[in-house]
Amino acid sequence: MLLDRKDLKGDCERCFGLCCVALPFAASGDFAIDKHSGQPCRNLLEDFRCGIHNKLRQHGFRGCTVYDCFGAGQKVSQVTFGGRNWQRDPQTAKQMFSIFPAIWQLHELLWYLTDALEKQAAESIHTELREAIEETERLTHLSVEALLELDVAAHRAKVNTLLLQASELVRAQAPQIKTNIRHKKTIGRGADLIGAKLQDADLRGANLRGAYLIAADLRNADLRHADLIGVDMRDTDLSGADLRDTLFLTQVQLQSAKGNSSTKLPPSFVYPAHWNK
């Protein structure tokens, strides 16, 4: 079973503004105000649209422009609750806001599993990947009561073991890294690479899981076959970088980074509107 990636991207037209209500945020460089979980954002309109959608960054809501629910919003709105919205049916609100983060995590796993299944290098575990996709998708269709009791963390841990296997298989296909790195920080899983100077670096097949690449310089770097799951790319400069064939890349990561028209992306991704053309 190969899911259509379009089903794993947010469709605000079919959602009841769940990310604008269910999720909390604090006043910071990403958000202009504090907001508690379950509290509608002041910019949310009655029709669930954003009143400043085209000017979010100008109004201090940069965080909204980099967020994506992996399609969880429309799943909860249209499938789990069958089109009932929390405004007209207030008794659903608490359950809906509690379930939304769980479906978000399951859809994120579906994104990663689908990505791994598309990699020929992981062919030896394709059967296991398909089974994991089917099981994860099944969980997203559980009843409201079952979803409220679901141990998402346990399922995530099980799936992550499979994702690690896929990562090892894909990264093994990359040539040995011969990187000219002009800093003393270690490159690897969970590495602190904040502000690192990695321009022109050969990072093919690198394990960057959970690494902090905040404001790092990756201009013209080669990231093919690199594992990017959970990498923090806020303000990372990807201008001219090659991200084709990367593993576990998300649109959210690209939205939070900087880049330009010379950045090479996989076919299923789009260039963020704020990137230099």
Annotated domain spans of the chain: 5-171, 176-277
Work out the pLDDT band at 44, boundaries 50, 70, 90. Answer: very high
Q: What's the mean per-residue pLDDT of the chain?
A: 93
The CA–CA distances, whole Å, from 182 to 82, 96, 231 equal 55, 49, 20
Section 2-25 average pLDDT: 90
What digits encode the pLDDT tens for the residues 49-103?
999 999 999 999 999 999 999 999 999 999 999 999 999 998 999 999 999 999 9
| Of 75 and 185, the one with more pLDDT | 75
Region 18-28 average pLDDT: 94
Q: What is the pLDDT of residue 186?
A: 77
DSSP run (H or E) holding 104: helix 93-117
pLDDT of residue 7: 87
pLDDT of residue 1: 53
Class of domain 176-277: mainly beta
Q: Is the pLDDT of residue 179 over 60?
A: no
Q: Is 42 exposed, middle or buried (0-12, 13-18, 19+ CB in 10 A)?
A: exposed
pLDDT in tens, 206-237: 999 999 999 999 999 999 999 999 999 999 99
User: Pick from 3, 225, 249: which is nearest to 107 by CA?
Assistant: 3
Looking at per-residue pLDDT, the higher value among 145 and 185 belongs to: 145
The mean pLDDT value for 154-182 works out to 86
Rounded-to-integer distance, Cα 83 and Cα 180, Å: 54
User: pTM higher than 0.85, yes or no?
Assistant: yes
Rg (CA), the chain: 19
